[in-house]
């Protein structure tokens, strides 16, 4: 009798506005009390934005934007430098917590970690992937004071896209068999590797959402 392959259970742990969280934790009386916070550059407008609080993002502030432009969009924002040493320290704390909670942990960046929970159903007493994600989120927050969001699915790309849907401070799991339905809800611009020039090229062909591209392939 041929054994069926195990159904993959992948989570992506994504730290919410990580650089902002670290800046606030390291300077609770300064950055910690600034709701509209820009990390990166200087108060005079030099440099570029590394991260911004969700309150500042509501004004259109985005990472990689010149800090001078960000301040024009959000003039009441507080600007602080990137706390590089503290970012590394806090990232290691998050990873250490995850390694106590999951059998396989792989860092994708300083603030993103993939967890492979495939075959852990018995280890976690039949716990659903969503329940595991919420438990892990709450435990990481309790141990490190860093808020994270988790996306889950049967593939890494699905978990990554689901984590974007979960942010901030949430969990979003795509059930097995629901991958295409989930992808169809997204714009092509949201897919990894689809840059602005390709987005414009696709738009000229009438392709904006994933379901547009899938529909075109089916008709062809």
Interacting residues of 110 by C-beta distance below 8 A, sequence separation 6+: 18, 87, 88, 91
Active site residue 29: no
Residue 96: Cβ within 10 Å count: 13
- 3-state DSSP assignment of residue 153: strand
Q: Exactly one of 26, 29, 55, 112 is catalytic; name it.
A: 112
Q: Which two tokens stand for residue 27?
A: 């300077």
Whole-number Å distance between alpha carbons of 156 and 146: 22
Q: In what order do the strands lie in the sheet with 10-15?
A: 105-109, 112-116, 10-15, 148-153, 171-173
Residue 14 buriedness (CB in 10 A; 0-12 / 13-18 / 19+): buried
Q: Let me know: does 146 contact 21? Beta carbons within 8 Å.
A: yes
Question: Which segments of 108-207 does DSSP mark as H helices, in order?
Answer: 129-144, 156-166, 179-184, 196-204
**Residues assigned a catalytic role:** 112
């Amino acid at each position: 009798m041929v054994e069926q392959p195990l159904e993959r259970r992948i989570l992506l742990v994504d730290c919410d506005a990580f650089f902002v969280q670290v800046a606030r934790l390291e300077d609770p009386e300064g950055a910690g009390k600034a709701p509209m916070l820009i990390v990166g550059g200087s108060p005079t407008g030099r440099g570029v934005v590394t991260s911004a609080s969700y309150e500042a993002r509501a004004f259109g502030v985005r990472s990689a934007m010149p800090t001078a432009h960000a301040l024009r969009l959000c003039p009441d924002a507080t600007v602080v430098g990137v706390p590089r040493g503290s970012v590394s320290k806090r990232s290691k704390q998050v990873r250490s917590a995850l390694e106590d909670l999951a059998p396989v942990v792989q860092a994708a960046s300083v603030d993103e970690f993939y967890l492979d929970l495939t075959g852990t159903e018995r280890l976690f007493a039949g716990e659903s992937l969503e329940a595991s994600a919420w438990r892990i989120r709450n435990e990481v927050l309790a141990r490190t004071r860093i808020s994270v969001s988790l996306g889950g699915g049967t593939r890494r790309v699905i978990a990554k896209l689901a984590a974007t849907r979960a942010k901030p401070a949430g969990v979003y799991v795509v059930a097995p068999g629901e991958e295409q339905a989930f992808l169809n809800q997204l714009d092509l611009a949201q897919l990894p590797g689809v840059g602005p020039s390709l987005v414009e090229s696709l738009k000229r062909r009438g392709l904006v959402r994933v379901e547009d591209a899938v529909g075109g392939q089916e008709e062809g």
